[in-house]
Structure 1
């Protein structure tokens, strides 16, 4: 059912909201009717719920409210809050509050909306929807707009997928964020400087539900489904060593895009010292791993290791067998310089090895950005002739380890904390 005439009405005369105030009681004389949607600025919800903090500046509060920093430029911080919102300064606001204080987002804006809705029903006997709104910036767009951070009794999304447009074209991706649109419409009459923290949106009774509903949770896209899930601060740290993979197949094109990142690494003498062998055939992968295992066992026996020790060491390569896809990065020395003495020749190779490492790291990071897990294993370095034979590679290609690729079977463990200061020497 579509809307006809829609009105957006400012609610004036509320005065200053203080901790402990009952918002439903404050709205008793706002002229509410059945089917109205009440849009409340989160700032007064925070004030009523005592989410006011004494602070000389916002820095400490932002850090406490932040789950992860998504991006940072100068003093501007875009962070994810524990509520799941990605927004500037974790929603900590120093405006419209007494000097020396900051406002934090409500603990649970959906619960706040439910309380106001229940209070209005008890006081006035009206069936309303309630939205708690806040101001967000938007990637790729200038300007701010209000969105819903809490809701009760309002349909948050309208899913048109499976339908057709007026020309009969199928709609495959159209899901409208109704609660956000209503929040933005209400802001037109509230304004930042008008001192009007509440608006009524009338004419959308068909979006008001009998039950409180799911709140804004359906509006928050899960990170795994978000093409932009990694902010600029996240990308490098997105690379994690994954040792257990699911059965989900790997998209070969995603791996090829990761190779594109690999070959963007720096290299000496304007060379391109990287080659990436994509082992996509299951039969070839098994043949390679079996041949490598035999070579390792022979080497370990030759070094005097016992069978139990050999078995333990061999198990370290199981991650390669569990992975549905392998990449073998190879170093080529084309374009390298030859010198008269071994010292400079050794340094020349080291330069190329460093470039190879940069290429592999780029590959691993981009695999993570593509949603793929990976583990770099140095194993091929111990049996290069075997690897070259099985994969039919030129003698001039040096396999520099093997990368297991796949979808993680479980989230990786948290990183061990490391302080950069422990790895820095200043002169």
Structure 2
């Protein structure tokens, strides 16, 4: 198969001779035998395709690499094999799992494959795909005296796109990324974010001729020698194609993101001076008000104290009320001072939020028991809103601490903040960027909190 592009693409790329190519050819290699553990893939490929020349790129399906490297596993339970290869679950829906595997790749089922392998066995991905690519490249140089590039390929699905395509999971001697940033397009516009995944483009081209069921696991691309590195340079490898977690905006699936946010939600008592983005807090409030509530009501109100003046004015008034209460309780001045210091978490936070309960829409029964239950319903709904708020803050990578202090001096809070008389402050939430990573805490076994009837 040959492919002639409609127009030449030219630029000064990162590889030698980054000029446009007039065209390239890609074809599948015929005549390869069934690969078995211990086989030398470079020798098998050299025998099947002895006419390789400098600058060719070999596209080798990962399955035959796994077979040659003995990565076949007897496994009646494929799920157990997936578990063993999984580092992190990214998303789960029913039996389908998208995971990060031990090679750092995010893919379905950790790359564990039960196709094209004998019944009762599964194939695992190569242990070190970049290393596998280097070994094949060096073997072809020894066998044929040529300098080629080698890509190990596997089939991936992609977020937001239907269908599968081959991508590079291992590479040697190939410029896997073509960074065009700093250049210009045909109209002279600056390119500020264009980094082309050249290795994946090559892998997809190879998949067109190899097919999924044709028994043709190797393809050759000829006519793009500028993509191949010098003989003594294996390049960065396909690992360079894996997006760093710091830059990954879509690191988790929906349910996993929620679970991680819940797990990450910890009480933070020390904050940095970094300002809090008001938009982050408002997005957390938007999540808070999705909580369930009785009678189709909206019992939540969130008072945001974003200026230091408003926080200090409230906290000073609350401290005076607290000291008065403690003195009435007979506490010593030393004990009072210690308790006041423990409450400084609110004072040290760059943002303070006071969630309030309103009883609009509540029912009055004229019966103490039922009226008390009615209020409890609204209290539970407000608590659910506060929990949503705290989890959403964690999702925004903000630390928080809920404290109950405003509940003990509601009149003071209402007066200082000029709140309606029917707004009941339900604690306060300190918000900011954590000054340190949270300490590990022991796992809580869910069974300890469950009773089944």
Query: What is the TM-score with the length of structure 2 in the denominator?
Result: 0.85
**CA shift in 2, pair 1:184/1:402, >3 Å:** farther
Task: Compare 64-73 and 314-323 and name the one that shifted more.
Answer: 314-323
Whether the 8 Å contact between 1:159 and 1:176 is mirrored in structure 2 is: yes
- 8 Å CA contact retained: 1:109, 1:151: yes
Residue aligning to 2:186: 166
Matched, 1:12 2:37: no
Q: Distance in 1 between matches of 2:341 and 2:156?
A: 50
| Cα distance in 2 between the residues matched to 1:82 and 1:408 | 30
- Over 3 Å counting, the alpha-carbon distance change for 1:323 and 1:223 in structure 2 is farther
Equivalent residue number for residue 56 of structure 2: 36
**CA separation of 1:409 and 1:226: change in aligned 2, threshold 3 A:** farther
Contact 1:230 1:369 survives alignment (8 Å) = no
Q: Which runs of 5+ in 2 are unaligned?
A: 1-17
My pick for the range that moved more, 341-350 or 372-381, is 372-381
- Of the three residues 339, 353, 358, the one matched with 2:365 is 339
Deviations 1:172-213 (A, max 9, x none): 332222221111111111111011112122222212223223
SS of aligned partner of 1:184: helix
Task: Kindly state the Cα deviation for residue 266 of structure 1 after the two structures are TM-superposed.
Answer: 1.6
Moved more, 39-48 or 291-300: 291-300
Question: How do 1:34-73 and structure 2 match up within 5 A?
Answer: 34-73=54-93
Tell me how far 1:95 sits from its aligned partner.
0.8
SS in structure 1 of the partner of residue 168 of structure 2? strand
* Corresponding residue SS for 1:368: helix
RMSD (Å) for aligned C-alpha atoms: 2.5
Q: Give the drift of 1:304.
A: 4.0
Equivalent residue, structure 2, for 1:3: 21
Q: CA deviation at 1:130?
A: 1.9
Matches within 5 A, 1:76-115: 76-115=96-135
List per-residue Cα deviations over 1:18-71 (Å, max 9, x = no partner): 222222222223232212222221212222222221110211111122223222
- The question of 1:261 aligning with 2:287 is answered yes
* Mean Cα deviation higher: 190-199 or 316-325: 316-325
Name the counterpart of 1:283: 309
1:231 deviation in Å? 0.8
Superposition TM-score, scaled by structure 1 size: 0.90
Determine the C-alpha separation between the residues in 1 that align with 2:435 and 2:147. Answer: 46
Does the 8 A contact of 2:92 with 2:253 survive in 1? Answer: no
Out of 306-315 and 325-334, give the one that drifted further: 306-315
Query: What do residues 102-123 of structure 1 show as CA deviations (whole Å, max 9, x unaligned)?
Result: 1112222222222322333333
Corresponding residue for residue 229 of structure 1: 251
Aligned ranges 1:244-323 → 2 under 5 Å: 244-306=270-332, 310=336, 313-323=339-349
> Which has the higher Rg, Structure 1 or Structure 2?
2
Displacement of 1:364: 2.7
Partners of 2:267 and 2:402 within 8 A in 1? no
Aligned partners of 1:114 and 1:152 also within 8 Å: yes
The aligned counterpart of 1:220 is: 242
Partner SS state of residue 35, structure 2 = coil
What is the alpha-carbon distance in structure 1 between the residues aligned to residue 344 and residue 243 of structure 2?
A: 35
Q: 1:316 to 1:201 in 2, by over 3 A?
A: farther
Take 2:439 and 2:176, find their aligned partners in 1: how far apart are those partners?
34
1:26 alignment partner, one of 22, 44, 47? 44
Cα shift at 1:380: 2.8
Alignment of 1:268-417 (within 5 A): 268-306=294-332, 310=336, 313-414=339-440, 416-417=442-443
Find the aligned partners of 2:100 and 2:112 in 1 and give their Cα distance: 12
Asked if 2 retains the 8 angstrom alpha-carbon contact of 1:224 and 1:371, the reply is no
* Residues 306/205 of structure 1: CA separation in 2 closer, same or farther (3 Å cut): farther
3-state secondary structure, aligned to 1:111: helix
Q: Against the structure 1 CA distance between its residues 170 and 52, is the aligned structure 2 distance closer, same or farther, given a 3 Å change threshold?
A: same
